[in-house]
Structure 1
Amino acid sequence: MFQTLETINRRAKLWLWLIVIVGVVASLAVVVQRVQTEQTSKQVELVFDYRDLVDMSIYQPNPSQYIKDQLVVLKDAGVESMAMFESSLQEFKSAKRIWLYNSNEAALLQGKTANLNENYTYLLFAGPEEERALQPIIEETFMNLGIHVKLWSFDGKNGLILETPYESAVMKSMPQDPIAMKLLRDQGFTIVPRLSDSMPYDPEQVEDLLAMYEQNGVTRILFEGDAVKGFNDDLKQSSLTHFAETLNKHGIGLAAIEGLKAPQKGFSKLAYLTHYNVVRIHSISEQESFNDPKVLGDRLSLAVKDRNIRMFYLNAIVKRDTSKSEIVDSVDNIVKSLEEPGNAKAKIEHDGFTFGEAKPFEVVDSSWQRYAKGVTVIGGVALIALMISYFVPYVMMAAFVVGLIGAGGLFVLHSKLLEQGLALGVAISAPTIAMVLAVRRIDMSSIDLSFGPRLGRAVALFLRTSVLSLIAVPYVIALMNNITYSLVLDQFRGISLLFIAPVGLTALYVFLYRGESVFKEAKRWLSMPLTLLWVAAFVVVAGAGYYYLSRSGNAGSVSSIELMFRSLLENTFGVRPRNKEFLLAHPIFLVGAFIALRYRWGQFIFMIAAVGQMSMVNTFTHLHTPVIISLIRTVLGMGLGLIIGIIGILVWSIIERCWESWRLKLKL
């Protein structure tokens, strides 16, 4: 009976491998369109925070002239856009557009006795221009909030009385400063407004605001705070839907801020409703603006090339320079990072990009893609079933059938969970199968003592195993070929499991599946006496595992020395290969295979080598990184790892020959 099952299983396995190959072909077609999509957005936009410029100007003897001079400097450096926050009375005051007083201060100003039962806000306009530009905005904002507004004047200046406490009045947000906006437009800058959700959503106000934006050439907005505009009123007013429709009407898109601790609430829904008219933006913080220009230059160019960033948000700040006994700003440092010596602009242009208005990706999605993805799903289920078969052979077909049924159910109930779960399963399965087959091939090979054949077989095994591991790549890309992953609105899930599973399953196979039976091998290992050496080995392995996990994933920590080494690799090769692949795992695979072809204990080294196979697949799960960049990174890692591995084999051969010579002399 078992022989019959084994025969059926063997034939079924061939059919499953055929399905996997068909799935690879189908997924590669989807990958091609993913690459085409990534080529549709090639312009990079530099945005400077105008508020920072205003804040820095107060440290200058002539603030207005300082702002004008810095605008020219930034324009010459390639900055085409200015970010403008929503205004407030406090900002108008800081910009010297109005004077603000509470009731007591206003009474003192007028030489009157303060009314103890009054707690209002008084303001005076700096001049007729400020009055014409700001009075309508202030009146509309406060009257819409139900706050009474009265006219007021003093000493030839016109103003307003806002019947609300000073502390409350300065918190109310208003549209961007129209005077500053005109100044920036006259200087040739594009405006990138920043909106908050701090005020109640008013459809009419939003319509007027976005119409004004369109008239002023606004094509993209940023959000301030933890939520997009309209989020808090969405349940009552469907405000996000209205906001999205109004954005679409006026041709205005969104910018997704990279690196936030948590996504801005409502952003994903708004992105969907605006048909993903979204561009990713990377920020240089105030403190970082004083970093080494070369470091900043590298950071900017890498963000464009490696992470599909198309906008940069540049902040600036002042600091005390004790060596010069004066206060200096970081604008000059930012300019140096863009030009000499940082050369960010030159590097970005060298990589095939131009500077201008950032455009969203134009998704290439042919009608046949859905059918190709369907074939990919079937192939992915087959690959997972094959992986299971190497550990529990007789459940392979059951796993395949159950997997297909489960995939069908998830497609109906939660298609996103299907694509994420299946992508994770495939990413684990391919490198695991590759490592298991590598162990099997070593077991089936004859003991070889000669150097040349061992070297050739070790290299061939490394290449074969790597190709098998990379079968997962087109599957992962095709299953998650959605613009939401490129924009990091969604992400590949299960990174920690991906780091652990292939290594753990390889170790399981090496320990338990190379003897007569799993149970006998387990009994043999469990019956071994626990020695201090075993305890020490466990501590070392646990420590190495902890370090490995702490270094992996998006939150992994990196030392300053490694950052320098990474920069060296990037500048040398153009694309940085992964250290753990070419410095550790790939060379260890080659040396381990070379050793195992003569000494079977060398197969235990494959447990570490599995890290490299997993890492190659993991590279392509960074779905915001262009496919071509990930491919170059992987091939570079394999090539460098092959060279270092061969050097390692030569070193081992010398050690091996020395040991043989010493062993004979010492009669060991």
Structure 2
Amino acid sequence: MPQWLNTWNARLAKWLWWVVLLGIVAALPVMYARVQTETSANEVAIVMDYRDLLQVGNSQANPQAFVQEQLKLLKEAGVNGMAVFESTLEELSWDGEVTVYNSTQAALLEGRVPPPEDNGTYVVFNRPEHEQTLRPIIEWAFRHHGAEVTNWSVKDHSGLRLNMGYDDAYIHAMQPNPIAMGMLKDAGFQIVPRLSDRFDPFDAQEVDKWLQSFKELGVTRVLFDGEAVTGYGKGIKFGGVQRFASELKKHGIGVAIFENLKVPQKGMARLANLLKYNAIRAHSVGEAEMTVIKKPVLEDRLVLAVKDRNIRLLYLNAAAVKDSAKGQISHPLENIVDVLKGDEESESVGAVQQLKEFGFELGVPKAFEVHKAPQEMILRGIAALGAIALVALTFGLFIPSLLLPVIVIGGIGGAGLYVLSSTLMVQALALFAAIAAPTASVVLLIKRIRVLRESAEDQPISGYRRLGGAILLLVRTTILSLAGVPFIVALLNHISYSLVLQQFRGVSLLHLVPIGLVALYVFLYGAGNSVLGNARRILSMPLTVLWIVGIGILGAAGMYYLTRTGNAGQVSGLELQFRSILENTFGVRPRTKEFLLGHPLFFVGIFLALRYRWAMVFLIAGTIAQLSMVDTFAHIHTPLLLSLIRIFLGLGIGVIIGLVIIAAWQICEKIWRRWKSSGQAA
């Protein structure tokens, strides 16, 4: 490379660090605005699935009395909402409103032989006072579904004949039961309707009537049932989602978004955007889970969902299960009550009380009030420049001569990508900054350790000096690693990330690339040879069985490590118990791979590497902690303040564990030296 280019690269590197610092400063107001947003809505709804309650009641001797008793117990325990699905004939029969017959049963009631061509469904209204409300709902729904509806009566009971097969008619959707919703409202519950996309075509006029009735009941939010939001399947031709969003806005009703669905509900991101993000996050405990989950685990799960993931609606399910051991039908409703209000047997205060202790209260959940920093777009632009500078500086640590070309190409490429897709650009830049920060910090640490070790070749550094140096170097490295955090927060500061409608992309890369780059730097850079010389030396080494076994172990460890990354990481039952202990002890759970593995390895690695060259391998493994701290903030749905507490708590515990290991090492080293010297003297 020309000498002038090397000179410019050296000068540019100094200026780029100032750009990085400027970007961090610009990101701080944006971070503060996010904290304001995350603390703007602390009301939580605990919602029970009313259909499940009816289904469980249908297994009891007196269903209606059972349901009313359970409603009272759930209300006292803290359940303040009921989810009401679109009605079906099955659900109305559970509620005692109708009795449904097939053609054969109807014929027997009338004392006649059913004609073979009759496969209709016959409905009788059990409560004459409710017929005026339910009849038009059933008539409209089945005519909309394409079935002919005619009047029918038997033994002084009026009803309807539906020209649809019994099994088919039994599960077809109708308007949510207004009688049940009125009863639940009077009982003190907030109503959360669950709507579907099962009506084709989308009827805006009918939906307007539904939403108006919801509004009169105080409904502020709806959930969705099925794989898509209402109107989605008709969106291309009829603009169903847009029209549905318009109706919701007209009535001041927002939505709730279930987390961790195998497949996100189609149309949700667009609907939330059209509603200007009048949305909250919901967490559901499924029917199958609820039958087997332990009470302490369920309690921790509900509290953590609200506290750690900005959940504002807890959705509880229940199911009647045949218990062959007891020879009876069992259900989890009693366990739910114990989990919410506390259980004297397990000395638990209950999920509701825990939420109150953490500053949350039961109520009608509201969407976050989005706060913006003054001149936020300008500040985010400066932060983006800082992120580009950080990425370029990291690249320059490996190939210094290309620093200037990289910053130019990166700036032009970033601008071009922003024009094509601003979302893709900020996500890519956030990922690159997240990778660059821990990589640069550890590489600079390695360079510094090499300088200190070389300067002390004549007289090794004492243990106390190494300990003090290790602490200072750990602090410096941690600060530089965390320099990537403001860039992630500023670049991805949008409510859609908090609602997980958009996410930080590239978690696996973030967990692998820094470790790989640090290992590359340790083995190829330094040792008095060129990069190519070190590469040739490594490649010319003989391949032994030990090497093959080592590579296999590293590969298996890497695969296990990847299964632990991201929101879907696999966790054993034993670790869940360990996590619960940590949560109950500290109030905030530090990340296990940081305080138990990464930080101790990294701290001990710095201490040993100041004297022993081979100890660099500990720094490679300990890079896990540095990148994990940055990754903590890539979970945008976790409150920012909680993430800060989590990483510093993990760092503190990790340092304590590291000090214990260092003390043990020093003791063992002294014993070894005495034994060795005594052996030589003999």
Give the TM-score taking structure 2 as reference length: 0.95
Matched, 1:414 2:396: no
1:636 alignment counterpart: 649
Q: Secondary structure of 1:358's match? A: coil
Aligned residues: percent identity?
47
> Structure 1 residue 663: deviation in Å?
3.2
Q: Supply the distance in 2 between the matched residues of 1:438 and 1:368 (Cα, whole angstroms).
A: 36
1:189 alignment counterpart: 189
Matched, 1:303 2:271: no
CA deviation string 1:514-555 (max 9, x = no partner): 133101111111122222222222222222212211222222
Q: Supply the distance in 2 between the matched residues of 1:427 and 1:164 (Cα, whole angstroms).
A: 58
8 Å CA contact 1:485, 1:491 repeated in 2 = yes
2:260 alignment counterpart: 259
CA deviation string 1:62-85 (max 9, x = no partner): 111111111111111111110011
Q: Supply the distance in 1 between the matched residues of 2:327 and 2:560 (Cα, whole angstroms).
A: 45
Deviates more, 1:623-632 or 1:135-144: 135-144
> Structure 1 residue 302: deviation in Å?
1.0
2:670 alignment counterpart: 657
8 Å CA contact 1:172, 1:199 repeated in 2 = no
Q: In structure 2, what residue type is equivalent to 1:652?
A: W
> Structure 1 residue 322: deviation in Å?
6.2
> Structure 1 residue 5: deviation in Å?
3.1
Matched, 1:471 2:483: yes
Q: Secondary structure of 1:59's match? A: coil
> Structure 1 residue 15: deviation in Å?
0.7
1:214 alignment counterpart: 215
Match of 2:547 among 526, 534, 538: 534
Q: In structure 1, what residue type is equivalent to 2:278?
A: N
> Structure 1 residue 587: deviation in Å?
1.1
Q: Secondary structure of 1:150's match? A: strand
8 Å CA contact 1:27, 1:372 repeated in 2 = yes
Matched, 1:607 2:620: yes
8 Å CA contact 1:52, 1:317 repeated in 2 = yes
Q: In structure 1, what residue type is equivalent to 2:519?
A: A
CA deviation string 1:193-231 (max 9, x = no partner): 111111111111111111111111111111001111100
Q: Secondary structure of 1:232's match? A: helix
> Structure 1 residue 666: deviation in Å?
4.1
2:634 alignment counterpart: 621
8 Å CA contact 2:37, 2:368 repeated in 1 = yes
Unaligned runs of 5+ in 1: none
Q: Supply the distance in 2 between the matched residues of 1:226 and 1:55 (Cα, whole angstroms).
A: 23
Q: Supply the distance in 1 between the matched residues of 2:83 and 2:111 (Cα, whole angstroms).
A: 42
Q: Secondary structure of 2:158's match? A: strand
Cα 1:538/1:630, change in 2 over 3 Å: same
8 Å CA contact 1:477, 1:620 repeated in 2 = yes
Matched, 1:522 2:529: no
Cα 1:325/1:36, change in 2 over 3 Å: same
> Structure 1 residue 242: deviation in Å?
0.7
Q: Supply the distance in 2 between the matched residues of 1:147 and 1:534 (Cα, whole angstroms).
A: 72
Matched, 1:444 2:451: yes
> Structure 1 residue 273: deviation in Å?
0.4
What are the within-5 Å matches in structure 2 for residues 532-611 of structure 1?
A: 532-611=545-624
1:281 alignment counterpart: 282
What are the within-5 Å matches in structure 2 for residues 14-53 of structure 1?
A: 14-53=14-53
What are the within-5 Å matches in structure 2 for residues 160-179 of structure 1?
A: 160-179=160-179
> Structure 1 residue 323: deviation in Å?
6.9
Match of 1:391 among 394, 398, 414: 398
8 Å CA contact 1:197, 1:228 repeated in 2 = yes
Match of 2:497 among 478, 485, 494: 485
1:428 alignment counterpart: 435
Q: Secondary structure of 2:171's match? A: coil
> Structure 1 residue 292: deviation in Å?
2.5
Q: In structure 2, what residue type is equivalent to 1:158?
A: S
Q: Supply the distance in 1 between the matched residues of 2:589 and 2:516 (Cα, whole angstroms).
A: 27
Deviates more, 1:337-346 or 1:622-631: 337-346
Matched, 1:355 2:368: no
1:294 alignment counterpart: 296
Q: What value does the CA root-mean-square deviation take over the aligned residues?
A: 1.6
Cα 1:593/1:82, change in 2 over 3 Å: same
> Structure 1 residue 176: deviation in Å?
1.1
> Structure 1 residue 274: deviation in Å?
0.6
8 Å CA contact 1:127, 1:157 repeated in 2 = no
Deviates more, 1:160-169 or 1:596-605: 160-169
Q: Supply the distance in 2 between the matched residues of 1:441 and 1:149 (Cα, whole angstroms).
A: 83
CA deviation string 1:26-52 (max 9, x = no partner): 111110101110010111111011111
Q: In structure 2, what residue type is equivalent to 1:412?
A: V
Deviates more, 1:391-400 or 1:549-558: 549-558
Q: In structure 1, what residue type is equivalent to 2:315?
A: Y
Aligned residues: 668
8 Å CA contact 2:44, 2:364 repeated in 1 = yes
Q: In structure 1, what residue type is equivalent to 2:285?
A: I
Give the TM-score taking structure 1 as reference length: 0.97
1:5 alignment counterpart: 5
Q: In structure 2, what residue type is equivalent to 1:337?
A: V
1:81 alignment counterpart: 81
Q: Supply the distance in 1 between the matched residues of 2:109 and 2:199 (Cα, whole angstroms).
A: 32
Q: Supply the distance in 1 between the matched residues of 2:563 and 2:112 (Cα, whole angstroms).
A: 67
8 Å CA contact 2:503, 2:636 repeated in 1 = yes
CA deviation string 1:78-131 (max 9, x = no partner): 111100111112222232222222333322321223223333222211131232
> Structure 1 residue 324: deviation in Å?
5.8
Q: Supply the distance in 1 between the matched residues of 2:102 and 2:593 (Cα, whole angstroms).
A: 63
CA deviation string 1:390-415 (max 9, x = no partner): 11111111111111112212222101
Q: Secondary structure of 2:311's match? A: coil
8 Å CA contact 2:47, 2:81 repeated in 1 = yes
2:140 alignment counterpart: 140
> Structure 1 residue 2: deviation in Å?
4.8
Q: In structure 2, what residue type is equivalent to 1:133?
A: T
